Structure 1
């Protein structure tokens, strides 16, 4: 369903509530689950200063999910978020990737790392967003559903980041409510919780996430269902090539540095970026709280380091203090 189609639907509907699938209506995924997990792993490895490959770290989360699937008898999206965090922590400790003294900071970073990695894979459907603002203006209640493996607080953070949290009247997440969207459980839960009959709601979701409950057993005949297009997980997984994408970024950066308006020797930013990232990781690994940059080149490196921190920090309280010292070598 496109934005204009939703506008028409809203103008004609007699329903009181608009229910949207987070990733099937309001936002589109641009990366696969696997890619997002690897980004999450990279962020935590960097912030914790670990010596571990991204794939090994990410695999611990996958193994934790598979174990909890069998133990709890539920799908990934219904696993309680805190239970998942504890299981991943146990596996990282048991394998020696994390030291016991890092447990607290790992648990504190887990959700912010999820937030940063997930946001990098979300694309706002601007047409749908415009229609939602119109729906809110005429008095419709807006409810967000999510089968995303996340907590309710994480979904709230997504919405706040995109500046639309003020439009939403309620959030229901599989991991928090122990209900699954593709089986219709969470939809039934929403209707029951809000004391709505099916004819009072319009439900918008992607067309690839399964089915609603059987109408004959759940009396969903009057629930208006509208499907949106969504890129499949397979398409996301197979799209692009990391090496090719990296080469494109390097080429684009180098070309920009060759422009007339670019400062001399700008192309060296590529090497400085690698140096700054490694410096940051080493500082985290050895728990360094303060760095001093010595004149004169230090002023440039300090600015780069501060900029890198601004982009990467998960918590302002963990910021590494930087100082510029004027002194002779």
Structure 2
């Protein structure tokens, strides 16, 4: 075990996979400038800067993947994905199916998302649900250094396009990462804390808010179970159902806006498959349906915080007690 930052875990994952597989390469906006250690080890042929042209970057990645390479591309901020939707959604996501499985599209798209750095609405927009909704794509959004490394290595080895969302606020946070080969399978949630009264489901930075809320709830005699989804597509439906059937209550927390978000899918899935186990209504805590503010204090108000999670959980437990 070693304690490293999320950014260091990402760098380790990329370097290890490039050493392991010569078909792995990286290009994108400023990658050779930011990752000089990769250029020094692997050369300019495998680590390249590109123009600020997201559609061209994504299209080149799709072509490289179809020709047998495993590209990792960095598009910097999630809103810039808007410039690459055709290449990612309409080409990389669909061509394996359209080819009858004759072609693989093993590519990883790295983007940064979320509040915490006050970068403004045009650089901060949680778009993960767009790509969950797109056939042929996989989507991950980790919360810990170990999961950033393990999921990125698994994503690079996957034969399908993977959208890898990196929460801006987590980049310089540190955590314990296992030594040696460390893989986290796509589609497997993590149970961070066992509980019996309410399930808190989240991903990315709001997982930490759920942990803080669970500590407060424990002091008040309420036992909260925490599920970190990690992978949004494939979604670990079994883990969600097992927890809800145990606790009978669920609060889904994420920074992205409510309408048609990941929380809506989780809520609908639970209602369809575990309605008989529910002791209270499903509750969602999300960001508002508004562009992200540039002010740091307003950003904090934008994201569901621990006190709101505590209040929602207490309300659900109270609903059962007075039923």
- Normalised to the residue count of structure 1, the TM-score between the two structures is 0.27
Structure number with higher strand proportion: 2
Q: TM-score, normalised by structure 2?
A: 0.27
Of structures 1 and 2, the larger Rg is shown by 1
Structure with a larger share of its residues in helix: 1
